[in-house]
Amino acid sequence: MGKTFFPAICFLAVFLGGSQTFPGQDGLVQLGRHQEYESRRISSYDRSGGNDDRLHIRRGETAVLADIEGPGAIHHIWVTIDAEPFYGRKIVLRAYWDGEENPSVEVPIGDFFSVGHGLNRNLRSLPIANSSEGRARNCYWYMPFQKSARLTVTNEGEQTVGAFYYYIDYRKLPSLPLNTPSFHSQYRQETPCLPGKNYLLLDAEGRGHYVGCNLSILQRAMGWWGEGDDMIYVDGERYPGLYGTGSEDYFCDAWGMREDGNLYYGCPIQEPDFKTGSKATVY
């Protein structure tokens, strides 16, 4: 992962390998039903019995957050971090399912929690919720695995991460259907974004479904960034089967962006006036 701000930066969430509907959160109705799983938690608690319930991650070091046997499903991740400025872009989260060599998730931790530019912001959505001025970060994406799950973080900053607190809540399941899709993400950045050239959000192969993205923009010049039409090509289409009318329309707003948060869309960062150097993040 790079350590420089770029004008267009994107994190995407994708489920690959199955056709079932995105499970989401089960809702209050599930409280009245018997559950066929065991609840488990891995956290940064002090193994000595004291109150130093945090990891200290040196520069260049990778810490293993969880190494879980399947079948199971992660359904909640909480982190809070005390580190150098812009740490959200300098700490990289990776997740490996079922013994794979290459990670299915590889994203700077701030972007994973839907806030770009290494900044901290409150956020309210169905899969992601941040509070405490953006310093308490929660993820509710459902992440099933058949055999194993391994989660790591790497400190790519210049200083030691002085405090990395975390919970990983998961369900130990008796089994999962063989066609259960797995959670994937792709992070990419481009500088500069060339005039007249489309910015690629995602290029993926296989059976699955795309569930969303967040996009961060750093202005290189005065102006409004949001007029680019969104286009989605499915299964090799030559013409996009989904063709939209503009970036702020794709992110469910209109007549520009303003800071707001909703279950399925929002804008945690929108610096005013669209001046050179101003920042935005939308989801």
CA atoms within 13 A on the CB side of 143: 27
Evaluate whether residue 1 is within a structural domain. Answer: no
Residue 70's domain spans which residues? 8-21+33-282
114 DSSP β-pair partners? none
Cβ–Cβ < 8 Å for 117, 218: yes
Q: Tell me, yes or no, whether 167 lies in a domain.
A: yes
63 domain residue, yes or no: yes
204's tokens: 């993926």
As for how many domains the chain has, the answer is 1
Q: Is residue 186 part of a domain?
A: yes
The answer to whether residue 65 sits within a structural domain is yes
243-281 confidence digits (pLDDT tens): 999 999 999 999 989 999 999 999 999 998 788 999 999
CA distance 254 to 264: 15
Instruction: Please write the tens of the pLDDT for every residue from 134-156.
Output: 999 999 999 999 999 999 999 99
Identify whether 2 is part of a domain.
Answer: no
Q: Is residue 27 part of a domain?
A: no
In a domain, 26, yes or no: no
Question: Which pLDDT tens digit goes with each residue over 179-205?
Answer: 999 999 989 998 888 888 899 999 999
Radius of gyration of the chain (CA): 19
Domain with 64 in it: what CATH number? 2.60.120.1390
Q: Residue 118 carries which side chain, given as an amino acid letter? A: G
124-149 burial string, b = 16+ CB within 10 Å, else e? ebebbbbeeebebbbbbbbbbbbebb
